[in-house]
Amino acid sequence: VFACCFQSAQATPLISVKMPGDTGNYTTTVGSLFDSNIYINSIADLGGFDFTLTYDSAKFSVQSFDSGSIFGAANTDTLAKTLAPGAVRLYEAILLSSPLTQGLNITAPTLLGTVHFKALGTVTNSVVDILVNANTPVLSTFAGDPVALSKVNAFVTVTPPAAVPLPASALLFAPGLLAVFGLRKQKAA
């Protein structure tokens, strides 16, 4: 008799920050607006999350942020949704009064939230980082147990706005003015 046991290996949950174009590196210009999406993947029993997204407040400002509402509006307890210079914190969990009996089974990248940024100053490779606080688990199961995870941050480069070239018609403006003043002088004489 030959017996074989197979155990499906659960991948380590991954939380990642993605910039426009679903990339980890993004280049934009001073004054522009852009979105940063936070995704979760590979967790069998997601009951809640608590993360802080950190950034350089001298180079970026957060205009607003939105939740992905993955638990559904009727099942979601939003205890914290705070905005401070250099940090955005979002906490959501399944309500105790929810009819759900288990956490979510996340097998594909799922949006946890979107942060809307404005670029304030030039910078090269500034990190937008998910802060893992030792006292607060970023992910937890339905029972509230912390879940180990890996994370992928994103990097943003901000460049000065491109110089706007003068149109050729602007070059004709000076000779036109000279012609007008020349005609006024001839009429005056």
Question: Please, which pLDDT band fits residue 4 given cuts at 50, 70 and 90?
Answer: very low
Longest dimension (CA), the chain: 120
Reading the block at residue 90, the tokens are 């979002």
Q: Are 82 and 88 in contact (CB under 8 A)?
A: yes
SS3 168: helix
pLDDT tens-digit readout, 173-183: 666 656 666 65
The C-alpha angle 6, 109, 142, rounded to 5 degrees, equals 70
pLDDT score at 180: 66
Question: Please, which pLDDT band fits residue 52 given cuts at 50, 70 and 90?
Answer: confident
| Look-up of token digits 């990248």 | 109
| 77: amino acid identity, one letter | D
Who contacts 95 (Cβ-Cβ below 8 Å, separation ≥6)? Answer: 74, 75, 76, 77
Is residue 3 scored above 60 in pLDDT? no
Residue bearing the bigger pLDDT, 6 or 172: 172
Question: Please, which pLDDT band fits residue 125 given cuts at 50, 70 and 90?
Answer: confident
Burial of 79 by CB count in 10 Å (0-12 exposed, 13-18 middle, 19+ buried)? exposed
Who contacts 22 (Cβ-Cβ below 8 Å, separation ≥6)? Answer: none
SS3 175: helix
| Look-up of token digits 């890996």 | 150
Alpha-carbon distance of 64 to 165, in angstroms, equals 33
DSSP 8-state assignment for residue 55:
-
pTM comes to 0.77
Question: Please, which pLDDT band fits residue 74 given cuts at 50, 70 and 90?
Answer: confident
